[in-house]
Amino acid sequence: MAHRFGILFLMLLTQVLFAQRGQTGDKTFADRYPDDVVNPIAKTYLLVKNTVDHDIIVCVRDQYKNYLNHVYIRNKDEYLFTGMPISRVYLQYKSKEFYFEDTQKTVINFGERHTFTFFYDASMEGNFMVISEEDFFKP
């Protein structure tokens, strides 16, 4: 009987631990950001791939550093933003306890598809700059 209880306890424990981790596409910080900016007429697509071994949160901003959208992406997963406004955009990432900003801006035009891949490689350090938590969460 004690053996069955132990197995049941372990099964429940793994379910609880799994349930605490977000799903790709979750709006983890919806309470800290304004509403998402979406333009469904633009028919734009922005695919973000997470290639690192931990989950990340991605924040998309326009050329004026205004908030557009954010999403939780599990490790080795990807997320497709649709209806991005026509603008220059750049991405910010929360990765573990660090906050990064992509130094490259991408122009999003009508009907275009773009792909960003998040990875960390010390030799490519110039592609990202470390930012503060305040910069990551500003509206």
Domain edges within the chain: 24-137
Q: What is the homologous superfamily of the domain 24-137 according to CATH?
A: Immunoglobulins (2.60.40.10)
CB atoms within 10 A of CB 81: 23
C-alpha to C-alpha distance for 29 and 103, rounded to whole angstroms: 23
Q: What is the pLDDT of residue 118?
A: 84
Asked whether the predicted pLDDT for residue 14 surpasses 70, the reply is no
- pLDDT tens, position by position, 30-58: 999 999 999 989 899 999 999 988 999 99
31 within 8 A of 136, measured Cβ to Cβ: no
For the whole model, what pTM was predicted?
0.79
Rounded mean pLDDT of the chain? 84
